[in-house]
Copies of this chain bind each other. A is one copy, B any other.
């Protein structure tokens, strides 16, 4: 966080004062000595971000694919060496990336799941309404009152939730980065996500739901809205999607059985 001078204008009065803004910095990721990508991000949790990015993009399938990780936080560089058996070429990555980005191209989830090596969601785990309200509440308190989210209004949050407490709380100026930081943490620590939920502040586009699907997370909660493609993927994958979760309200978009009692589902 940086402290800066701003001019605050209310009606026609202006006043100069101090304010804080979120820091934005580049993270350059080298894979097997190839410079792969430079992400503009909140300069924290570089290791989580790098590993989560590679996992979400399908370059690695898990922590076992990583031979060595080296982080230079002050320079914003992460070097990752893949294990001996892990195939990687820069050209294929760029080709593959276009396909991944276009994953909503009218393809079914089954087809996508095949292409991106997505595991079928193998859990009937449920959450109570109160557990979700508890999760929403922890968005505000998760940073212990000192989060960038509250102080700058300029970052997105992603949190992994076990029904009771927040296991990982990550912030980033980019909503994809925030989720990738949670993904990376989960991959590095081998967390079983089949009974976890992820909550994000950002909109749920198809790519956000794909990231959660790849981790096998059955419940995705957002403060804001999903897109039509996100709903389609969640529906086919058997994931429960919740949007506009604020205070003691939410909208459930798919597979409500995971939250609602049976007798409420078909009202």
Asked if A63 is at the interface (CB within 8 A of a chain B CB), the reply is no
Fill in one digit per residue for A221-247: 1 if any B CB lies within 8 Å of its CB, else 0: 000111111110000000000001000
Which residue in B15, B16, B21, B265 is a CB contact (below 8 Å) of A226? Answer: B21
Q: Flag whether A173 is at the interface (Cβ < 8 A).
A: yes
Cβ–Cβ < 8 Å partners of A264 in chain B: 7, 14
B154 touches A203 (CB 8 A): yes
Task: Compute how far the CA of A156 lies from the CA of B226 in the bound complex, rounded to whole angstroms.
Answer: 13
Q: Tell me which residues across on chain B come within 8 A of A173, comparing CB atoms.
A: 203, 205, 227
Partner of A24, one of B21, B24, B174, B228: B228
Q: Which residue, of A15, A35, A227, A256, has the highest number of chain B Cβ atoms within 10 A?
A: A227
Chain B residues whose CB sits within 8 angstroms of the CB of A230 once the complex forms = 24
Cα A244 to Cα B154 in complex, Å, equals: 10
Chain B interface: which of A37-45, A180-188, A190-198, A211-219? A37-45
Contact among B14, B21, B129, B253 for A231, CB-based, below 8 A: B21
Asked, given contacts A21-B225, A35-B98, A129-B12, whether A40 binds B253 with beta carbons under 8 Å apart, the answer is no
- Given A102-B28, A102-B38, A225-B22, A6 and B154 contact (CB-CB distance below 8 Å): no
Known contacts A15-B267, A153-B225: A206-B24 contact under CB 8 Å:
yes
Q: Name the interface size band of chain A.
A: 35 or more
Which of A37-58 touch B at CB < 8 Å?
A: 37-40
* A25 interface residue (CB < 8 Å to B): yes
A9 / chain B contacts, CB cutoff of 8 Å: 129, 249-252, 259-260
Beta-carbon contact of A14 and B228 below 8 Å: no
- Footprint of B on A, CB under 8 Å? 2, 4, 6-12, 14-16, 19, 21-26, 28, 35-40, 76, 94, 98-99, 101-102, 104-105, 129, 152-154, 173-174, 203, 205-207, 224-231, 244, 248-253, 256, 259-260, 264-267
